[in-house]
Amino acid sequence: MKSFQRFALTPGEPAGIGPDLCLLLARAAQPQILIAIASCSLLEQRAAQLALQIKLVPVTPAAWPVQPAQAGTLYVWETPLPAASVQAGILDPCNSSYVLETLSRAGQGCLAGDFAGMITAPVHKGVINEAGIPFSGHTEFLAELTGTEQVVMMLATRNLRVALVTTHLPLAKVAEAITDQRLEKVTRILHADLINKFGIAEPRILVCGLNPHAGEGGHLGREEIDIIEPCLQRLRSEGMNLIGPLPADTLFTPRNLEHCDAVLAMYHDQGLPVLKYQGFGAAVNVTLGLPIIRTSVDHGTALELAGTGRIDTGSLQVALETAYRMAESRL
C-alpha cells in the first residue's frame, strides 16, 4: 500500500479569494493528503455562492486520513470563525484571530510531524493590524513561530527561481542593507535549501550586482568590489558554485539561465519583475531557512473577485506541486 504524506492548506483572509481557491482546487483529486485548516461554515457559504458541489469531510489530529480525498471532496480541520458570517469582499477585523490560528495550527503541525509542509493562501496584513495585532506577514510570523532567526524569500515558476537578499525595503535603504553578514547568511540559506529541500546536489547560483553594469569597475558604485565579490569568493572557497556579481540587465537571458538553479537578486524590484513577467499567476512564494516547508501563492487577497468564480487557481496549484516535490526531496 502506497504511503501518502499530509499537507496543511490555510485559506488566508476569509473575505478574499483564499476560500474560493481551496474549493475550486478540491474539484480535482490531489496526489497527497491535503487538509484545509478552516471554518466549515465559511467554506459551505462560499461553495453555495460559487454554485460548487464540494463535500467537506471534517478531520482531526486524533484520526488523520490516510488516503488523499477523492475529486469533489475536501478534508477540513474545523477552525471556528469569530464572525457569524463572512461577506465576500468585505474585510472584518474580528476574523483576524481566526486567520492567525489557522497559521499557528499549520506551523505547529509541521513542527510536530503531522504535516510534511504547509501551503498558504493570501492574508490581508492591514486588517490584522487594524484588529490590534502586530503582523508584518506570513514570513515573519512563521519565523517567530519556529524560532528561526533568518529566512529568505524566494519566488519560483516552473523554470526559474529568484531569491532576495533584501525584501520590502525602500530603495533608498537597500545599499546600506547589503552587508557582508547579510549576503553570507542569505547565500548559505539559499544554497543549503536548494540541496536539502529541492534535491539539487550541486546548486549553480547566479548572483546579481547591486549597481548598473555591476558597478562598472567601481565607476557606478563600489558595493560589488567592497562587499559582494569578497563575500562570494570566500563562499566559493568552500565549494559553492556562485557566478557573479553579474549585471542584472543581462543576467536574465536564456543563455545565462539555461544551466542556472537559482538567481540571487539584491533587492525586490531587481529580480521579481522578471520572474512575474515570465510566470505571473503560475508562480510560487517559498520561504527558505525555516525548519518546515512553506509555499504560498504569488498574489494577494483580490477582494473584488471573491465569490465571483472569476479566478485562476494556477498559482495555488504550483504552490502545491512545489511543496509536494520539496517534501519528496527531503525524504
Residue 216 to residues 114, 219, 222, 247: CA-CA distances in angstroms?
51, 5, 9, 9
168 labeled part of a ligand binding site: yes
Are 270 and 163 part of one and the same domain? Answer: yes
| Same-domain status, 141 and 162 | no
Residues 174 and 227 in one domain: yes
Tell me the pLDDT band of 124, cut-offs 50, 70 and 90.
very high
Domain with 235 in it: what CATH number? Answer: 3.40.718.10
Percent of the chain with pLDDT over 90: 89
For helices 18-25 and 314-330, angle between their N-to-C axes, nearest 10 degrees: 70
**Nearest-angstrom CA–CA distance, 41 and 39:** 5
95 is in an annotated binding site: no
- What phi and psi values does residue 288 have, to the nearest 5 degrees? -90, 155
Is pLDDT of 108 > 90? yes
Banded model confidence at residue 168, pLDDT cuts 50, 70, 90: confident
Inter-residue contact 250 to 256 (CB < 8 Å):
yes
Q: Is the pLDDT of residue 331 over 60?
A: no
- Domain check: are 112 and 241 in the same one? no
My answer on whether 22 and 132 are in the same domain is yes
- Full-prediction pTM beyond 0.85? yes
- Name all contacts of 129-133 with Cβ < 8 Å and 24+ positions apart: 130/93, 130/96, 131/93, 131/94, 131/96, 131/97, 133/96, 133/97, 133/100
294 is in an annotated binding site: yes
Q: What angle do CA 193, 197, 199 make, to 5 degrees?
A: 100
Whole-angstrom distance, CA of residue 55 vs CA of residue 317: 20
Q: How large is the average pLDDT for residues 97-125?
A: 97
- 276 annotated among ligand-binding-site residues: yes
DSSP 8-state symbol, 69: P
- The reply, when asked if residue 138 is annotated as ligand binding, is yes
Q: Is 171 among the domain residues?
A: yes
d(CA 150, CA 301): 26
Task: For residue 84, name the pLDDT band (cuts at 50, 70, 90).
Answer: confident
Where does the pLDDT of residue 133 fall: very low under 50, low under 70, confident under 90, or very high at 90 and above?
A: very high
Do 158 and 136 belong together in one domain? no
DSSP string for residues in 161-198: EEEESS-S--GGGHHHH--HHHHHHHHHHHHHHHHHTT
Q: Is 255 annotated as a binding residue?
A: no
Number of domains in the chain: 2
Bridge partners of 263? 162, 206
Helix axes 18-25, 40-50, angle to 10 degrees: 80
Residues in the chain: 331
**Quick one: cell of 234?**
570566500
User: How far is residue 282 CA from its own chain's centroid?
Assistant: 12
User: How many Cβ atoms are within 10 Å of 235's Cβ, its own excluded?
Assistant: 19
Average model confidence (pLDDT) across the chain = 94
Res. 316: pLDDT tops 60 = yes
Asked whether 181 and 225 are in contact (CB, 8 A), the reply is no
Mark whether 162 and 108 lie in a shared domain. Answer: no
The parent domain of residue 22 ranges over 6-148+299-329
pLDDT of 284-297, one tens digit each?
999 999 999 999 99
Residues 94 and 25 in one domain: yes
Beta strands in 17-80 (DSSP E): 33-38, 55-58, 73-78
Could you write out the DSSP letters of every residue in 257-298? HTT-SEEEESSHHHHHHHHHHHHTTS-EEEEESSSS-EEEES
Asked whether 282 and 315 are in contact (CB, 8 A), the reply is: yes
- One-letter identity of residue 315: S
51 — alpha (psi -120 to 50), left (phi > 0) or beta?
A: left
* Rounded mean pLDDT, 176-196: 97
Residue 283 lies in a domain: no
Instruction: Please say whether the beta carbons of 23 and 64 come within 8 A.
Output: no
Encode pLDDT of 41-79 as tens digits. Answer: 999 999 999 999 999 999 999 999 999 999 999 999 999
> Per-residue pLDDT tens for 18-51?
999 999 999 999 999 999 999 999 999 999 999 9
Give the pLDDT mean for 250-265. 94
Say what the pLDDT of residue 2 is: 72
Same domain assignment for residues 97 and 141: yes
Residues 170 and 143 in one domain: no
